Amino acid sequence: MRINLILIIAVVLLLACNDNESTKETVVTLIEKPLLTAETNKKHIEKGKEIAQKAFIVLSGNVKQAMANGGIENALTYCNINAGGLMDSLSNYYRVTIKRTSRKTRNQTNNPTTEEKVVLDKYLEMKNKGKEMSPIISFLANGDTVFYAPIIMQPLCVSCHGTVGENISKENYAIIKNYYTTDKAIDFKAGDLRGIWSITFNKGGF
C-alpha cells in the first residue's frame, strides 16, 4: 500500500480492568483523521493480544509435538508444510489476517511491508533502550486497523533459529536451506526480538 502521508506517533494511556493499573499503548496513525476512541483502541488491543497468544500456543504446541515425535528434522518438515495453513485457519476463524514477519525471514512470503519495517525498527529501538515493547495499533488509509506485537525469541526456538554449528547442526541447516533457499532467520539468541505479529482487522471491525 502506498502511504503518502507522514507517520505520526502518538502515545495513548488506556485504563486496564483493574482501576489501580494502567497500560501504555503506542498508536501509530498513517492518515490524518481522528483517532478511534480509547474504548475502540482498547478492544483492538485486547483482541489482538488474544489472537496472537492463541496463534503462538497453537503453533508452538504443534511444533513441540512434531519435535517429540521425530526430532528437529520432523519439526522442520512440519513447519514447512503446516505453519502457513495453521495461520490461515486462525485468520478465518477470527476474521482477520494473521502474519508473522521479521527483518530476517525464513519464508519470503512473510517479508515485511514498508510499514512493518518501521514497526520492527521501532521495537528494536525500544528493546535496545530497555523500554517496554507495548502493542502498537496502526490505522491504514483503506480503513483497516492493524495490531502489532513483538515476538521474543524463546529458548526452544534456537534449535531452528540459532547459530549454525552451535544450536543448529549443519545437517539440520541443510534441511532448512532445502525448504527455504533464501533463509535469513538464524543467529538469534533467546530473548532477542525475533519479529512481530501483524494482525489486520478489516474495515468495519470485528
What tens digit of pLDDT does each residue of 132-145 get? 999 999 888 888 99
Pairing state between β 22-29 and 8-15: antiparallel
Burial 17-42 (b: 16+ CB within 10 A, else e): eeeeeeeebbbbbbeeeeebeeeebb
Q: What's the whole-model pTM score?
A: 0.80
- Residues 144-171: what's their mean pLDDT? 94
In what helix (H) or strand (E) does residue 195 lie, and over which residues does it extend? strand 193-201
Does 147 score more than 60 pLDDT? yes
Query: What are the angstrom distances between the C-alpha of 129 and each of 31, 88, 108, 123, 124?
Result: 28, 35, 29, 10, 9
- φ and ψ at residue 37, rounded to 5 degrees: -65, 160
Q: What share of the chain is helix, strand, coil (3-state, %, to 5)?
A: 45, 20, 35
Determine the pLDDT at residue 139: 86
- Residues 190-194: what's their mean pLDDT? 97
Give me the torsion for CA of 31, 8, 2, 103, rounded to 10°.
Answer: -140
Residues 6+ apart with CB under 8 A from 42: 14, 15
Residues 6+ apart with CB under 8 A from 157: 188, 190, 194
Determine the pLDDT at residue 37: 54
Structure confidence by residue, pLDDT tens digits, 65-117 = 999 999 999 999 999 999 999 999 999 999 999 999 999 999 999 999 999 99
Structure confidence by residue, pLDDT tens digits, 103-117 = 999 999 999 999 999
